Chain A
Amino acid sequence: MTEDTEQKSPSRLGKWTRRTILASAGLIGGGLAIGTVLAPNRLAMASDDAAEAGEVVLNTWVKITPDNRVVAMVPHSEMGQGANTGLAQMLAEEMNADWSLVSVVEAPVDDAHINSDMARGWVLGEAAWIPGFMYPLIDFGFLKIADGLVNQITGGSASIRLTGWHGIRRAGAAAREMLVAAAAGEWTVDPGDLTVADSTITHAGSGRSGTFGDFAAQAAAFTPSLKPDLKARGDYRIVGTSRPRLDLPGKVDGTAKFGMDVTLLDMRYAAIAFPPVIGEEVVSVDDALALERAGVETVVDLGDAVAVVADSYWTASQAIYDLDIEWTGGLAGLTTAEIFATHQDDLDGKERDVMVEEGDAPGTLDEDAVSAEYTVPYLAHATMEPMNGTAWVRDDLCDIWIGHQDPLRAKKALIDLLGLPPEAITVHNQFMGGGFGRRGRLDFVTYPVRIAQAAGMPVKTIWSREQDMMNDTYRPAVTGRMRGAVSDGRLAAVAHAYIDAETGMPDSEGPFAFQYEVPNLLIERVKCPSPVSVGFWRSVDFTQLAFFNESFMDEMAHSAGADPLDFRLAHTSDPRRRAVLERLKAEAGWSPRPEPGRGMGVALVSSFETVVGQIVDVSVSEDGEVRVNRVTSVADAGLRVNPDACEAQIQGSVIFGLTAALFGQITVENGEVYQQNFPDYEMLRLANAPRQTVYFIDSDHAPGGLGEPGVPPVAPALTNAIFAATGTRIRDLPIEKAGFTAA
């Protein structure tokens, strides 16, 4: 085992200044296996407070088999970003591997029998095995660290940005060096005289050559270097090309297995009734009628929900209506209006945390300052695949089949729930039919296990769309108050006080940042925990705060009598942001009001180390019907590992953000979530989806995130466009609150 520490750049890991990379290698099945672990520095890892540090532990595995295949095992689950293909590309690049011989393992075997090696598995390690030589890496209080992980695995747009850039590249380069060393030893030649291409090592002088597979076993005797020579970008031939995604063949012929598709022998199906009012508990259940229904096997009172287990999901879902459940407690009077009213009280009177203070904004802002107050609503994730989980609990063993963004966290939750040792629990991770932050939660881990445990057999529990929508952990509803002044055409001061509903996003990501230069700036946070459960929603706090900031920047431009795009350019010297704005202006044919009834709006947001600017072009009819004609996006996402997959993420993010701004809101009346299914929580469809163009800046930066950064600019760019077209400023989302409708 070797280790190394390196300085890291500021990012979501901002709290630490150094991180440790551990690597180890060994012989597995006659081939070479290399593992790398990125960890907080080793001392912190071994100490008790490691769990509080918010560490990320990312693990990658590379296996080179005797038959010359390269297999990457990655800790990320595929929820649609194509990140696993990108990771495989990064690996193949550093190894100089033949792309057609490279694969990614991310779905575990459907094998309920865990052996002692597998017992050490954690993140998708359950897929295979964790070899003995890795044990020392794992045993550093690993589960303690797991406890501190919050959605760090497939979230935070982290797959390529962190695992790929810091872990898998290094593993690939180290593997190549070890294979070369083995070949040089065998042929007694200087390793410097060997070349590697297409998974083959060649010695030009003697004409000898051999494949990776030929040397895989010997290579395992060498120690992996932690500072292997990484390729220069100019030499890339796999990274930076649009390789077809490895997971897509199964997604056009119906063979890809999602959590919903797991089928076990003698499996039963469960439907759940959650309390109609948030927070209610069960007093009593009359299940007589339900049990009379053919196919119903048992009814499980979970205390905070009731499940029906039957021989088919449909039967179970029908039998839910046969139950007579008495509920008690809960937030019976709660309404969204009341929640927004609390924001007002808290902004008026509650203590504020100062997040940023430069100059003297309060002293500069007099009564002539422009003030604006913005709100955004609760939003559901509405992943296409409703929540579900299939569990099988025996006396001292538990298996669960789910699609989880953070399978490690799922496992930890089950250790706590069942009181079983880690080796007794196996998480079989499946493809996710959308995640967006929802699949980092634990409800669809614990309910299926509790139900299966009570039923004493394997049970697949499926949330109906209604239960999924009414029991989400929502993007929070929040309020922001902004004040600002311009003088001589420039921003003189900006003050922002916003409600933080505590999603748990680290401050180091800086979602509250005002991304323009202003001499007097004050940003204050007022913590106001949401009575409705909230969580990460694609791009997390950036969606709320970017709407406030980028709308207000438009208001400031208007107050200065300036063009909104030029005004932004005038207040940013950051070369990446400037390049994005300038490209956007050129590509979109920027003209805020090209003709009566039509408008363009712009917004720019940096998040997860990627800069995205968007121009939304709308037509608004006399009666307020908004048609989004086109959305132009320009992104600086640093190095794009798979350009086509990067484009797809921006295209999808635009639809996600627009859907929310046009239609999205979850409201609570009398303690109940009002929206239940798609007609109440509408989605863009093909007919009203805008035309899109996406451009990327050729950038020297390391890869930035791509799953999320396309979302935050969309809503403000839309409402800025509606303002340009109509003169009406929308400060509360969705647009229907200002009397507009979507075409």
Chain B
Amino acid sequence: MTVTFILNGEPQTVEADPDMPLLWVVREKLGLTGTKFGCGIAACGACTMHVDGVATRTCVLPVGDVEGAEVRTIEGLSDENGLSAVQATWLEMQVPQCGYCQSGMIMAVEALLDENPEPSDDDIDAAITNICRCGTYARIRPAVHAAAKRRRA
């Protein structure tokens, strides 16, 4: 069937099995590979995109469900002004190691800060449940606070 949604601000129409998860539609049919596959069962967060502004694990989200929705991926974060505050902070604090989890991590943090511009440690712990196998957590928490500050500035 045909599904139409907005991807990073541009309307997209794809021909796909409506059960196919959004992750694979975006990676394979639309060619944006910044969002990653990690577990396929909504357990790791590597596939996080924003669907109507909500951080969503797209490895289990049928594309049929996003008809008309606004979808944003890591590729849609930076604009003509450059990197988003979260991305810039991530670079400044040298957060990524292998980097594979970081698209999902950054998307989860962006959604948290959209909703809660000044999160506490507990808010961060509750919202950011993505797995980073390289163990970058020691830098993530301070980076979230720093990014929050940068956004408010």
How near does chain B come to A587, taking the closest CB pair, in angstroms?
16
CA distance A436 to B97 in the complex (A): 12
The 8 Å CB contact of B94, one of A245, A295, A431, is A245
Closest 8 pairs (CB-CB, A-B): A254-B34, A655-B135, A433-B100, A251-B99, A80-B98, A254-B74, A80-B97, A687-B125
User: B71 at the A/B interface (Cβ < 8 Å)?
Assistant: no
List of A residues within 8 angstroms of B17 by Cβ: 294-295, 314-315
Instruction: Mark A270-309 against chain B: 1 for CB-CB distance below 8 A, else 0.
Output: 0000000000000000000000001100000000000000
Q: A244 contacts which of B32, B39, B75, B94 (Cβ < 8 Å)?
A: B94
* Bound: A386/B77 CA distance, A: 25
On whether A433 and B36 interact (CB within 8 A), knowing A384-B44, A648-B139, A653-B135, the answer reads: yes
| Complexed CA–CA distance, A434 and B138 (Å) | 18
Of all chain A residues, the one with the shortest Cβ separation from B97 is A80
Chain B residue at minimum C-beta to C-beta distance from A311: B28
**B106 near A: Cβ within 8 Å?**
yes
Q: Among the listed A249, A257, A294, A651, which residue makes an inter-chain contact with B138, where contact means beta carbons less than 8 Å apart?
A: A651
Interchain CB contact under 8 A, B74 and A465 = no
Greatest chain B CB density within 10 A among A315, A317, A385, A686 is at A686
Residues of A within 8 A of B32 (CB): 254
**Chain B positions 42 through 82: 1 when the CB is less than 8 Å from some CB of chain A, otherwise 0:** 01101000000000000000000000000001110110000
Question: Cβ of B5 < 8 Å from any Cβ of A?
Answer: no
Q: Are B35 and A254 in contact (CB under 8 A)?
A: yes
Shortest CB distance A435–B (Å): 8
Q: Which residues in A have their C-beta under 8 angstroms from that of B129? A: 685-687
Chain B nearest CB: distance from A472 CB in Å?
Answer: 13
Tell whether, in the assembled complex, residue B74 and residue A248 are in contact, meaning their CB atoms are under 8 Å apart. no
Q: Known A384-B44, A384-B100; judge A689-B138 contact (CB<8 A).
A: yes
Beta-carbon nearest neighbor of A687 in chain B: B125
Are B73 and A254 in touch, CB under 8 angstroms?
A: yes
Contact with A along B135-148 (1 / 0, CB 8 A): 11111110000000
Are the C-beta atoms of B39 and A677 separated by less than 8 Å? Answer: yes
**Contacts of B36 on A, CB cut-off 8 Å?**
258, 260, 384-385, 433
A104 interface residue per 8 A CB criterion: no
Q: A248 to B135, Cβ gap below 8 A?
A: no
Given contacts A465-B38, A465-B41, contact A253 B77 (CB under 8 A): yes
B-binding residues in A (CB < 8 A): 79-82, 242, 244-245, 247-258, 260-261, 263, 269, 294-295, 312-315, 317, 382-386, 431-436, 462, 464-465, 644-645, 648, 651-656, 659, 677-679, 683-687, 689, 691-692
Q: Is there contact, CB below 8 Å, between B139 and A247?
A: no
Residue B3 lies at the interface, judged by CB distance under 8 Å to chain A: no
Query: What is the bound-complex CA distance between A126 and B95, given in angstroms?
Result: 30
A558 to B144, CA, bound (A): 42
Taking a contact as CB atoms under 8 Å apart, the answer to whether B20 and A263 are in contact is no
> Would you give 11 A-B contacts (Cβ < 8 Å), ordered by A?
A82-B97, A245-B94, A254-B103, A269-B28, A433-B101, A434-B133, A648-B136, A652-B134, A677-B40, A678-B131, A686-B130
CA separation between A596 and B139, bound complex, in Å? Answer: 30
B35 touches A386 (CB 8 A): no
Q: Which residues of A contact B131 (CB under 8 A)?
A: 384, 678, 683, 685
CB distance B139 to A258 under 8 Å? no
**Shortest distance in angstroms between B153's beta carbon and chain A's nearest beta carbon?**
19
Q: Which residues of A contact B75 (CB under 8 A)?
A: 253-255
Q: Does A652 contact B94, Cβ atoms closer than 8 Å?
A: no
- A-side binding surface: helix, strand, loop or mixed? loop
Residues of B within 8 A of A687 (CB): 125-126, 129
Asked if A677 contacts B87 (CB within 8 A), the reply is: no
**Could you say which of A464, A678, A679, A685 contacts B137, with CB atoms under 8 Å apart?**
A685
CB distance from A322 to the nearest CB of B (A): 14
The residue of chain A having its C-beta at the shortest distance from the C-beta of B102 within the complex is A251
A207 to B79, CA, bound (A): 46
Q: Tell me which residues across on chain A come within 8 A of B99, comparing CB atoms.
A: 80, 247-248, 250-252, 256, 258, 431, 433
Residues of A within 8 Å of B39, CB to CB, are: 465, 677-678
Whether A384 pairs with B77 at a CB distance below 8 angstroms is no
Q: Are B128 and A253 in contact (CB under 8 A)?
A: no
Residues of A within 8 A of B27 (CB): 261
Q: Mark B14-40, 1 if CB is under 8 A from A, else 0.
A: 000100110010011101111111111
Q: Is B132 an interface residue (CB 8 A)?
A: yes
In the complex, are the beta carbons of B20 and A312 less than 8 A apart?
yes
Q: Which of B33, B43, B130, B138 contacts A677 (CB 8 A)?
A: B43
Shortest C-beta distance, B34 to chain A (Å), equals 2
Residues of A within 8 A of B34 (CB): 253-255
Bound-state Cα–Cα, A679 to B43, Å: 7
Residue of A nearest to B125 (CB): A687
Find out whether the CB atom of B73 lies under 8 angstroms from the CB atom of A248.
no
Please tell me if the beta carbons of A314 and B44 are within 8 angstroms of each other in the complex. Answer: no
Q: A250-B99, A684-B137 are in contact. List 5 more A-B contacts (CB 8 A).
A: A80-B99, A313-B28, A382-B133, A434-B100, A679-B41
Contact of A686 among B83, B87, B95, B128 (CB under 8 A): B128
In the complex the two chains form, is B98's CB within 8 Å of A433's CB? yes
Q: How far, in Å, is A434 (CB) from chain B's closest CB?
A: 5
Query: Would you call A686 and B91 a contact (CB within 8 A)?
Result: no
CB neighbours of A434 from chain B (8 A): 98, 100, 133-134
Q: CB distance A384 to B46 under 8 Å?
A: yes
Whether B6 is near chain A, meaning CB under 8 Å from some CB there, is no
Measured between C-beta atoms, what is the minimum distance from A59 to chain B in Å? Answer: 23
Chain A residues in 8 Å Cβ range of B43: 677-679
Q: Is B111 an interface residue (CB 8 A)?
A: no
